[in-house]
Chains A and B, each alone.
Chain A
Amino acid sequence: MMSRRFEIVVDGRPIAATGDRTLAAALLNAGIVRFRTSVTGEARAPLCGMGSCFECRVRVNGVAHQRACLLVCEEGMIVETES
């Protein structure tokens, strides 16, 4: 069963998403590897995939530090990586 396709906006750029995948999966599928920048300036991306490591945090609809691996994509989402 396929879920409906739509776009979400990430750092001002539209990327493909569906309502049956998490935001982390959608960002990785779009080739994004810098979800956040670490305190010493390194690029970071998901590690645990299940909400415990906090490496995938991004700003979603203006709310900072949202774990992309715990959020399901929703139409109209505006995402900013913390880079």
Chain B
Amino acid sequence: MNGADPVAMTAVYDVAVVGGGPAGLAAAACAAEHGARVVAIDQGARPGGQVWRHAHRNHLPALGREWIQRCDRSGARWLPGAAVVDGSARDGLVVVQRAESFLVRARHIVIATGARELFLPFPGWTLPNVLGLGGAKALLDAGMTVRGRRVVIAGTGPLLFAVAATMARAGAHVAAVAEQAPRLRVARFAASLLRHPGKMLQGARYRATFARTRFRPGTWISRAEGTGRLERVVLTNGERTWTEPCDLLCCSYGLVPNTDLARLLGCTVNDGVVKVDEHQRTSDPCIYCAGEPTGVAGDTAALVEGEIAGRCAADDATLQKGSPLYVARDRWRRFTTDLAAAFHPRGELLERPDAGTIVCRCEDVRCGGIDPRWTGRQAKLYTRIGMGPCQGAVCGPACHLLFGFAPGSTRPPLAAPPLAALLPDLPDCTKL
């Protein structure tokens, strides 16, 4: 893995992988091991994505360390701190890395862009020290210290357990763990884990780490309060409402697949997920997709899909239908369904919050400023909702659920690059 050499970047690779989490690592490593010339483009400073974000390799779980080392050894070329901002399967991907831009051309592309968190606005969610669940995990992995701080964990899904355990291990006092899904849905999900003993064991280990804190299914956030920063959160179970004083609130409602690149490249996206065939191939035969963009199923599923995508993109003829990889992948697809059935947001969370609650954090657009009869485009034009720096990454999925706004069109640049990166050779006016 070495840094960028802009001149060589225009060379034609066999496989370009976008994203360096489990799916991207597996795709890059497996494609390179099968003889392909591979380049991997990743936004992070280090490989691993969000799940395996690390300050030092010694801090990684064994599986993450193994895959990162395997990718190292495979000969895949790694481009850290790099983003795809435009491009097409035929003309190449426009990549920006620091203050440089270059074209990456490859016969096949593997999209492994992962997912981001789903946030649903509630009063007080813009206060400092209100974080996403994944956000809290990412900041802990990036060196945030929480020893002695009082933390409330809320929202939904398996991340609640993972973050509660990580917080407890880091010395925080976990005051409450509130799961919005009703007890029955949680129980059904726990039973479905019998099909995935590894996940069940992991869940039990997490639970043991925060054993002194009560786990409350059927409980959700009513509001967060504080002056200039979070001081307390008001929780409810529909019958009773109570206040938990806290320094940190970690809350999100599951994951939203990142499908921007897939849509920009013209791949078919249905109901928010990239459509793939049994070989992880998208509607464009040159482009594969693996991991969360094809349906949220977690890191183990992403590894399997990444391996299939990488090997198929490297034209590995030894990979046959009915191989154990395909069987494992199909088993994980069912996990996607189980997750969605258990942890979809309850009706109360889909009711619009009060008029003063901010929906778009970039432009401070409040709920009361949006007319539900508008289309998403009208809301954008009239209020600037979704037009700030995050370009609707945060409020877009929430507005889809709360107002029924359809996702907007995907336009380049996917991320705003420094202008100098796109115009490297402007002449000095004294030379004209």
Contacts and interface: CB of A to CB of B under 8 A. Distances in A.
Interface of A: 1, 3, 18, 20-22, 24-26, 28-29, 33-35, 38-40, 42-55, 57, 65, 69-70, 72
Given A21-B143, A25-B142, A38-B364, A53 B228 contact: no
Nearest to A45: B128
A33 B143 contact: no
Contacts of A51: 43
Given A44-B126, A47-B130, A25 B139 contact: yes
A28 B138 contact: no
B55 A21 contact: yes
B88 interface: no
Nearest to A23: B142
Nearest to B132: A48
Contact of A72 (B45, B58, B394): B45
Interface stretch (B10-18, B194-202, B342-350, B385-393): B385-393
Contacts of A42: 126, 364
Contact of A54 (B44, B117, B134, B362): B362
Interface secondary structure of B, over-half rule:
loop
Given A33-B228, A47-B132, A70-B43, 4 more contacts: A3-B56, A28-B139, A48-B394, A53-B393
B143 A69 contact: no
Nearest to B53: A50
B144 interface: yes
A24 B45 CA distance: 14
B136 interface: yes
B139 A46 contact: yes
B418 to A, nearest CB: 8
B171 to A, nearest CB: 13
Contact of B389 (A18, A24, A65): A65
Interface string B356-376: 000001111000000000000
Interface of B: 43-45, 50, 53, 55-56, 58, 81, 116-117, 119, 126-132, 134-139, 142-145, 228-229, 361-364, 388-390, 393-394
B150 to A, nearest CB: 15
Interface secondary structure of A, over-half rule:
loop
Nearest to A35: B128
A45 B126 CA distance: 8
A14 B295 CA distance: 45
B128 A22 contact: no
B131 A49 contact: yes
B138 A50 contact: yes
A49 to B, nearest CB: 4
Contacts of B55: 3, 20-21
A53 B383 CA distance: 19
B248 to A, nearest CB: 10
A47 B364 contact: no
Contact of B142 (A3, A21, A44, A45): A21
A14 to B, nearest CB: 17
B334 to A, nearest CB: 28
A29 B228 CA distance: 17
A29 B129 contact: no
Contact of B138 (A26, A69, A72): A69
A33 B50 CA distance: 23
Contacts of B390: 52-54
Contacts of A43: 127-128, 228-229
B363 A39 contact: yes
B420 to A, nearest CB: 11
B388 A54 contact: yes
Contact of A29 (B58, B143, B389): B143
A48 B139 CA distance: 9
Contacts of B130: 47
Contact of A52 (B126, B137, B394): B394
Contacts of A45: 128-129, 229
B16 to A, nearest CB: 21
22 contacts: A20-B55, A20-B143, A21-B55, A21-B142, A28-B139, A29-B144, A33-B229, A35-B128, A38-B361, A38-B364, A40-B364, A43-B127, A47-B130, A48-B394, A49-B131, A49-B132, A50-B138, A51-B43, A52-B393, A54-B390, A69-B139, A70-B44
